[in-house]
């Protein structure tokens, strides 16, 4: 049985950008990680790994996070045309 191929550097970088964007949006809405977890049903360890870029969330998880923060899923996605940190925090 072969070992799974590790993610490419590009995938790892985009994963970190996604986590950074989720954190920026959460902070813009003055929410703690615990508050997002309470609202979404995620455990804090899982959510923290997503924000740190150590874990890739499923789309269903992104929907739960977006609903917990009160934004659309697209607001959690980093802008591919901008560098990390260049996209303003989403607000609804």
Residue 57: give its domain's CATH number: 1.10.260.40
Rounded Cα gap, residues 62 and 72, in angstroms:
9
In a domain, 20, yes or no: yes
* pLDDT tens per residue across all 92 residues of the chain: 788 898 999 999 999 999 999 999 999 999 999 999 999 999 999 999 999 999 999 999 999 999 999 999 999 999 877 654 444 455 54
C-alpha angle 34-88-47 in degrees, rounded to nearest 5: 25
What pLDDT, on the 0 to 100 scale, is given for residue 39?
98
Asked whether residue 68 is assigned to any structural domain, the reply reads: yes
Q: H helices within 1-92, ranges in order?
A: 9-28, 33-40, 44-51, 59-69
Whether this prediction's pTM lies above 0.95 is answered by no
Judge contact between 33 and 26, C-beta under 8 A: yes
Q: Is residue 3 part of a domain?
A: no
Whether 43 and 54 have beta carbons less than 8 Å apart is answered as: no
> Is residue 83 in some structural domain?
no
**Domain encompassing residue 21:** 9-76
Residue 21 lies in a domain: yes
In the chain, the number of structural domains is 1
**Is residue 56 in a domain?**
yes
């Amino acid at each position: 049985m072969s070992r799974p191929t590790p993610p490419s550097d590009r995938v790892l970088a985009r994963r970190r950008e996604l986590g950074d964007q989720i954190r920026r949006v959460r902070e813009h809405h003055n929410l703690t990680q615990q508050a997002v977890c309470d609202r979404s049903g995620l455990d804090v360890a899982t959510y923290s790994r997503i924000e740190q870029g150590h874990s890739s969330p499923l789309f269903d998880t992104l929907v739960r996070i977006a609903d917990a923060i009160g934004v659309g899923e697209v607001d959690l996605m980093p802008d591919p045309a901008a560098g990390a940190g260049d996209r303003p925090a989403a607000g609804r």
